[in-house]
Amino acid sequence: MAHGITFPLDGSVRELRDALTGSLLESLEELDVRTARAEAEQLLESVLGKSREQLLFCLNESVNSESYSILADYSARRISGEPLAYILGEKEFFSRSFFVTPSVLIPRPETELLVERALVSLTSRKPERYLVLDIGCGSGAIVVSLVKELQQKLGASFLEQGKFVAVDISTAALAVAETNAKRFEVSEEICFLQSDLLKSVSIHWTEFDFVLCLSNPPYIADGAVLDSGVENFEPKLALRSGADGLDAIRALISQFAEAFKGSHSGSSQEKVESKLILEIGYDQELEVVSLVRASGLGEYSFYKDLQGVSRVVEIKCQKSFA
């Protein structure tokens, strides 16, 4: 018995799955029968160390006392509202399984659009010297996915022409990001830097012909009501951003504009292109337009997610050096 969950003693994998499915369905309003069963199976897969296919072949097997105890603990945590990703320590993003802890935001499917737009920017230009900054990197899912995709599409030689920097104010988040970089064997391609957005980032513009800034910043208003699993378990630093939810976006646009429009000199006439790509809230398009126009930066475009919501904004810039 764990927080109202009764598992059949000496039950089979099938009986435990069905009992857990029923408990999850009863306790968590956001789940339907299909998702409850899927979560029950994911918990069993993790506890038993089996793949989905292997689980199907052992439904009639019994579960030992150690696995039973772990499953009871995991189940109680999930019933309490703790996100499944934190219990499992894993979340899929861009078809890869990333390590996550409560120190980082759980990667969302809509953020994959940010990676897709970054890929378009880099594969269409194929710059010879480029810098990619992932601001507020959290788990590192964005920058690691980008590096892996570029590695597959353009090869190791293209990666050697660029510099990738993952930035976060949280040392705990940076540790998770480094773990994921090692997991996917790209730790040598990515530098990690503690900074509050761009405050501690020094961009030497003349070293690059293209600078790409990516960020999924916090963009939820302080007073907005969130799902209890998000509110109670995910890091507020990665979620909330002032009364209107725009504090981080406002600061990023301002810092990027200041860095871009600052005083620079070079040995010859050079042009450096740069782009700031941000994920934004579902209702923030008009406010972001005002911020971009006020900043004096260049052209901007919005891209919609699968729900038809303007989810990503791209801001283009170009500077000449005399």
**What element of type H or E holds 315?**
strand 310-321
Q: Are 66 and 31 in contact (CB under 8 A)?
A: no
Q: What is the pLDDT of residues 96-118, one digit of tens each?
A: 999 999 999 999 999 999 999 99
Q: Are 241 and 262 in contact (CB under 8 A)?
A: no
Give the whole-angstrom CA distance, residue 178 versus residue 180. 5
Paired tokens of 168? 């976060």
pLDDT score at 1: 39
Question: Which residue positions in the chain have pLDDT lower than 50?
Answer: 1-4, 263-264, 266-268
pLDDT score at 203: 76
Paired tokens of 150? 């570029």
**Dihedral through CA 119, CA 124, CA 125, CA 128, nearest 10?**
70
- CA-to-CA separations, 263 to 54, 200, 208, 292, in angstroms, rounded: 61, 17, 16, 20
Q: What is the pLDDT of residues 9-48, one digit of tens each?
A: 567 889 888 888 988 888 888 888 899 999 999 999 999 9
Give the whole-angstrom CA distance, residue 270 versus residue 192. 28
pLDDT score at 10: 61
pLDDT score at 292: 94
Residue 277 CB partners (closer than 8 Å, separation 6+): 114, 117, 118, 121, 212, 213, 214, 215, 312, 313, 314, 315
